[in-house]
């Protein structure tokens, strides 16, 4: 093992923590918008558009984490037209260099956001 490896893992952990903090904020924003939909049904259409953007941001944040993991621990991200799907599939699979990052039920929920 290279002496650089522990440093790279610490950097990866810091990058993931940064993204997780962003996801936590997006989660709070999603909860707020959902409440506003209930409180102000007249403007629900605007709130739904806002909610859709926030859900997309949440998914993109998850994908950024998966990309970081794939680059640092798997040697790169999948290529091709369906790289998003394949990246998600890889994150729920154990690899020689790491355990699964997410559970299959989490991948299923994330697919629900993406579609």
Q: For residue 3, what pLDDT band results from cuts at 50, 70 and 90?
A: low
Q: For residue 101, what pLDDT band results from cuts at 50, 70 and 90?
A: very high
SS3 content of the chain, % helix, strand, coil (to 5): 80, 0, 20
Q: Which string of DSSP letters, residue by residue, matches 19-46?
A: HHHHHHHHHHHHHHHHHHHHH-GGGHHH
Q: Kindly report the length of the chain.
A: 115
pLDDT tens digits along 13-67? 999 999 999 999 999 999 999 999 999 999 999 999 999 999 999 999 999 999 9
Query: By C-alpha distance, which of 22, 29, 18 is closest to 54?
Result: 29
**CB proximity list for 27: less than 8 A, separation 6 or greater:** 58
pLDDT for residue 80: 94
1 pLDDT more than 80: no
């Amino acid at each position: 093992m290279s002496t650089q490896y522990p440093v790279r893992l610490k950097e990866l952990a810091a990058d993931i923590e940064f993204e997780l903090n962003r996801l936590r904020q997006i989660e709070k924003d999603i909860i707020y918008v959902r409440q506003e939909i209930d409180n102000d049904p007249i403007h629900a259409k605007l709130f739904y558009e806002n909610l859709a953007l926030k859900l997309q941001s949440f998914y993109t944040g998850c994908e950024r984490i998966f990309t970081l993991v794939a680059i640092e621990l798997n040697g790169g991200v999948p290529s091709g037209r369906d790289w998003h799907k394949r990246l998600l599939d890889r994150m729920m699979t154990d690899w020689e260099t790491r355990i699964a990052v997410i559970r299959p039920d989490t991948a299923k929920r994330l697919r629900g956001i993406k579609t």
